[in-house]
Structure 1
Amino acid sequence: MRLTGDFLATALTLLLTVTSAVHACPPSDRAALLSFKAALNEPHLGIFATWSGTNCCTNWYGITCDPETKRVADIILRGESEDPIFQKTGRTGHMTGSISPSLCRLDRLTTLIIADWKSISGEIPTCIASLPRLRILDLVGNKISGAIPASIGNLSRLTVLNVADNRISGEIPASIVDLKSLMHLELANNKLCGEIPFNIGKLSMMSRALLSRNQLTGSIPSSLANLHRLADLDLSMNRLTGSIPFQLGSIPILSTLNLDSNRLSGKIPTILLSNTGLSILNLSRNSLEGNIPNVFGPKTYLIALDLSYNNLNGSIPKSLSSAKYVGHLDVSHNHLCGAIPKGTPFDRFEASSFCDNDCLCGMPLPTC
């Protein structure tokens, strides 16, 4: 039997239609993305103009699908990027609107990044905590308000939680300590209040915790010492009180510790300054007292040590002269006394590093 040209054309069309449907995202995922899009306005770059057609897995800006299931896996929308669409317009992104709960219908989502759009507002949809596969939640650099969902701890696979530089208020949810896979926690520059969860040390995978510029109160949890992978801890510019837990000095790979601009009191733990892995330490603008521990040595490598604006007394430790490197030192605005040690590294520092103490003397201050 001979096949006519019309029959072949029809058969080919049907085959292409079926093949296209097999490789397209499900209509439910497409509908969820379009509902998400409807709640936002991006007037300059035109990224949502690419969100057309039936297949959201192909050429939809910022959308990636699982190659096997064709379900939406990643939404990556950054307002600051080197992508050609940004270079062509010569500007960073600006987006208004809010994050639609329709995203929660994308139950295979692993990455949700909606970052640095400056003016996205509204709250974090509570249902985001029900996305079972979510590994990255990054909403930095917007105007998102409200609280972090109380059930955030349900996201057992979450490795990155970044909601910094927003207007988020309320307390840090108690359930956050259930994020067993969490490596990066960034909550800086919000309006968070209350205390840091006392058992935050349960987050055994965490390597970075940035909670600065909030309104956090209470003491620094000593359980932080259980975070053996922690390299960066920033609790600065809050309202924390009490003493610095000496246990922080035993964190094996801690390299950056910023506790400045709080209301901390008591003495500087000796073990903290003897931790040779610590390269940046800022304890300035607190109410710390007592002597600066004289525990520096040849393995000390300090990019920056800032102890200014406290109530420290005694003299400057002579052991600092034996340090391998001290890049920046500031002990100004304390009650220190005595001669500033001579030689390296002190011969590189200006008078501002030592000013406004009770009776420090010697170069670069007036002679004793």
Structure 2
Amino acid sequence: MKTLTSILSLSLILVMFFPSPSFSAVRCHPEDKKVLLTIKKALSNSYSLPSWDPQTDCCKWYGLQCHLTTNRVINLDISYGQRSVHIPPAVGDLPYLEILFFHKLPNFVGTIPQTLTKLTHLKYLIISWTNISGPIPDFIGQIKSLEYINLSYNNLSGSIPPSLSDLPNLTELNLGRNKLTGSIPDSFGKFKGTPPSLYLSHNQLTGYVPKSLGLLKFPSLDFSRNKLQGDISFLFGSDKNYWKADFSRNLFEFDLSKVVFPKSLNVLDLNHNKIYGSLPQGLTSLNQLQLFNVSYNRLCGKIPVGGELQKFETTDYFHNRCLCGAPLSACK
């Protein structure tokens, strides 16, 4: 699974340690350079861009990468700025851009500009740890080249646009840590391509998880810390291949006794819900389990012996109706 940290690291390695080859002639495309200077001005000539000198080759500027043969700008990485600004609409005028990072910019405000739809080669869209607000634009679903979207740690509000499921190449969608409301779109059970990992945690989502999601095999699901409700047992099964399933701190209510979990699970977190029944014996076959938490539910019965279950803390099991057995107290 691609993570923001790994992509940021790759971006910095490409930009800082494998810069475009140095030639005697200026490589920077004049149209790209014009756009970049417009972006710099829109960012109030940000002090974080000191190398963006109009007298020098833009392919050597910090935070940029040019294609080795076409010399067009393909990577724009602006991070850790302090000025209060909006996302420059001129970003959409870099026609060959593949990677766009706006990260750790607490004074970035305003909304996501529609000019991004002009970026027909864009693969990675990361706008994270900023103070942009407003809804997640429906037009993002028009950028069919997108493979990775991270809009986490912002102030985005409103509902999740169903059109995001129209992206055929998407491998990960992270909308966590915002102020999103409404329900999970039913269209998320009908992704055009291979189902992506979905991270929707720490929002204000409500309602029931669409049954259509149970028809797909997601690599990872994180719906934690919302206000979702109902039975989500249909999301599990031996045919699934999750590595992470985090549904903690919601209002889910179902019988856990007969649920079958995929053996691929590394993370299973169900704490702070209304789940009842007993822990199924099949949990002992999850040999890759590294994080497990069923605390603060309504579970009862003996904790199955075997596998990884006894290595977890009592806090991963406590505050249930009548669970017993190691690592909790012995059953009477």
TM-score bucket of the superposed structures, by smaller chain: 0.7 to 0.9
Q: 2:320 aligns with which of 312, 329, 334?
A: 334
- Residues paired across the two proteins, number: 306
Query: Aligned with 1:214: secondary structure?
Result: coil
Q: 1:111 aligns with which of 92, 99, 120?
A: 99
What is the aligned partner in structure 1 of residue 51 from structure 2?
Answer: 50
TM-score between both structures, scaled by the size of structure 2: 0.83
Q: How many angstroms apart in 1 are the aligned matches of 2:115 and 2:288?
A: 46
Matching residue's letter, 1:332: F
Q: Which has the larger radius of gyration?
A: 1
Q: How many angstroms apart in 2 are the aligned matches of 1:131 and 1:49?
A: 26
1:77-156 correspondence runs (5 A): 77-79=78-80, 94-156=82-144
Q: How many angstroms apart in 1 are the aligned matches of 2:229 and 2:308?
A: 33
Q: How many angstroms apart in 1 are the aligned matches of 2:130 and 2:195?
A: 24
What is the CA distance between 1:95 and its match in structure 2? 4.4
1:218 aligns with 2:210: no
What is the aligned partner in structure 2 of residue 3 from structure 1?
Answer: none
Matching residue's letter, 1:64: Q
1:25 aligns with 2:25: no
What is the aligned partner in structure 1 of residue 11 from structure 2?
Answer: none
Matching residue's letter, 2:70: T
Q: Alpha carbons of 1:134 and 1:288: their partners in 2 closer, same or farther (altered >3 Å)?
A: same
What is the aligned partner in structure 1 of residue 37 from structure 2?
Answer: 34
TM-score between both structures, scaled by the size of structure 1: 0.76
What is the aligned partner in structure 1 of residue 259 from structure 2?
Answer: 271
Deviations 1:21-50 (A, max 9, x none): 6x3312x3222222222222586xx43221
Query: Aligned with 2:221: secondary structure?
Result: strand
Query: Aligned with 2:165: secondary structure?
Result: helix
Show structure 2 runs of 5+ residues with no match: 1-23
2:106, 2:129 within 8 Å by CA — same for their partners in 1? Answer: yes
What is the CA distance between 1:122 and its match in structure 2? 1.3
What is the CA distance between 1:226 and its match in structure 2? 4.2
Q: 1:297 aligns with which of 246, 263, 284?
A: 284
Q: Alpha carbons of 1:311 and 1:224: their partners in 2 closer, same or farther (altered >3 Å)?
A: same
1:209 aligns with 2:198: yes
Query: Aligned with 1:267: secondary structure?
Result: coil
What is the aligned partner in structure 1 of residue 154 from structure 2?
Answer: 166
Q: How many angstroms apart in 1 are the aligned matches of 2:295 and 2:45?
A: 45
Q: Alpha carbons of 1:141 and 1:251: their partners in 2 closer, same or farther (altered >3 Å)?
A: farther
Using the aligned pairs only, state the percent identity.
30
Q: Alpha carbons of 1:41 and 1:311: their partners in 2 closer, same or farther (altered >3 Å)?
A: farther
Matching residue's letter, 2:64: I
Q: Alpha carbons of 1:296 and 1:137: their partners in 2 closer, same or farther (altered >3 Å)?
A: closer
What is the aligned partner in structure 1 of residue 305 from structure 2?
Answer: 321
Query: Aligned with 1:48: secondary structure?
Result: coil
Matching residue's letter, 1:302: L
Matching residue's letter, 1:173: P
2:177, 2:202 within 8 Å by CA — same for their partners in 1? Answer: yes
1:306 aligns with 2:307: no
Show structure 1 runs of 5+ residues with no match: 1-18, 80-92, 355-360
Q: How many angstroms apart in 2 are the aligned matches of 1:282 and 1:168?
A: 25
1:222, 1:245 within 8 Å by CA — same for their partners in 2? Answer: no
